[in-house]
A = this chain, B = another copy of it.
């Protein structure tokens, strides 16, 4: 999936550089990246009625930053059973997963109805090797009453840092996540997750990130991530 995403971003840039006007999220390309189904899947990284004013304002600010091409909004789909599932399984040859189970599968972060779970959009800056995730955690993500579950925060950190690793790194797997939770995040509030690629050593990618309130005044969490590029010739398990 992530390797395909990289390839698609490159194609998109090449088309733009060649002077062809390409909409920010071209449905045909989107279909080719993420699915073999003939219907055009819904891009969930766009505003819906559940988005708060804070989330919409931040979204608009980042869409402006996309106008000069320095930032790009990354589309996001509920992944179902697709060709990429088969591609990925070649790395895990003894997976006992049966086709029926995969047919029900969907991306963890997109499994909820609008507003109840993870509402988010990720932007990418290729020059700076950074991703920024705008995230509103809904009422189904509760941990201690009134606040996000630590696991929901870890999930969005993994997604944001992972995307920052996957675009330059190809197919990558999380090897380590080290998260400092400094303040609990109120349910339904908006946070900004800033992630950057710090260094690459062989197949290892080292990243860091922080989670702040929409106004940047509160530092909620800090984290580091280590990701490993997968070797297409080897199986991991």
**Which residues of A pack against B, CB within 8 Å?**
1-2, 79, 82, 84-85, 88-89, 92, 95-97, 101-102, 104-109, 111-112, 116-117, 139-152, 154-159, 162, 171, 173-181, 183-184, 186-189, 218, 236-237
CB of A36, distance to nearest CB on chain B (Å): 12
Residues on B with C-beta less than 8 A from A117 are 111
Q: Is the CB of B162 within 8 A of A158?
A: no
Q: Is the CB of B108 within 8 A of A187?
A: no
Q: Among B97, B104, B145, B173, point to the contact of A186 (Cβ < 8 A).
A: B97
Residues on B with C-beta less than 8 A from A79 are 142, 145
Cα distance, A175 to B218, chains bound together (Å): 16
CB of A91, distance to nearest CB on chain B (Å): 9
Q: Among B97, B146, B162, B186, point to the contact of A150 (Cβ < 8 A).
A: B162
Given contacts A95-B186, A155-B154, A236-B184, contact A145 B176 (CB under 8 A): no
Q: Is the CB of A88 within 8 A of B144?
A: yes
Q: Is the CB of A177 within 8 A of B159?
A: no
Given contacts A1-B144, A184-B236, contact A109 B177 (CB under 8 A): no
Q: Among B157, B177, B179, B186, point to the contact of A96 (Cβ < 8 A).
A: B186
Residues on B with C-beta less than 8 A from A176 are 178-181
